Structure 1
Amino acid sequence: MASGWANDSAVQEQIDATIDDAIARARNQMTQGESAAFCDECGDPISVARQKAVPGVRYCLNCQEVIDKKNNTFSGYNRRGSKDSQLR
């Protein structure tokens, strides 16, 4: 297939790079270390059960849900594939 100046594997290389970037972002978001006793965002206490369930947790459940909701949009679409204009 003619592709101009790009080599034949350029599309696959772009796909691989996109996947590698997504994996790196996911690894950077993983918590580690000692859990916080109080939320870094609002200052509310973090339950002991949450601290044990998520090692290195930094946010209470309410703040984490808000953060996750903001982070789960990609190019203006939520994970279900529908347009999510409220998070922009």
Structure 2
Amino acid sequence: MSVRTVSVVLAAVLWNVERHVAIVALVLGILLPYVSVVIANAGRENAPRLPSTFVPAPTRPALAAPTEPSAPESGREEPTSATGDAREHHG
């Protein structure tokens, strides 16, 4: 923080003498705290594995494939009409 303080004071002193150096010192004084906090906090939150309280979501089973209908028990097939309806009743 002393480097930041010196930068801001230097910017104020050099503002009317050497404006380019004053602007660089001012930018350094503004950005230095942000950069130092980011560097200080980098890598501190490493989690090599999931916490022990992690509960995985339940998996849903896949739907079974539809089965083919079985043949009639009597062994003979029923006649079909032109529309393909095997159970048409003539009253």
Same fold (TM over 0.5): no
Q: TM (normalized to structure 2)?
A: 0.28
Structure number with the higher helix fraction is 1
Max Rg structure: 2
**So what's the TM-score if we normalise by structure 1?**
0.28
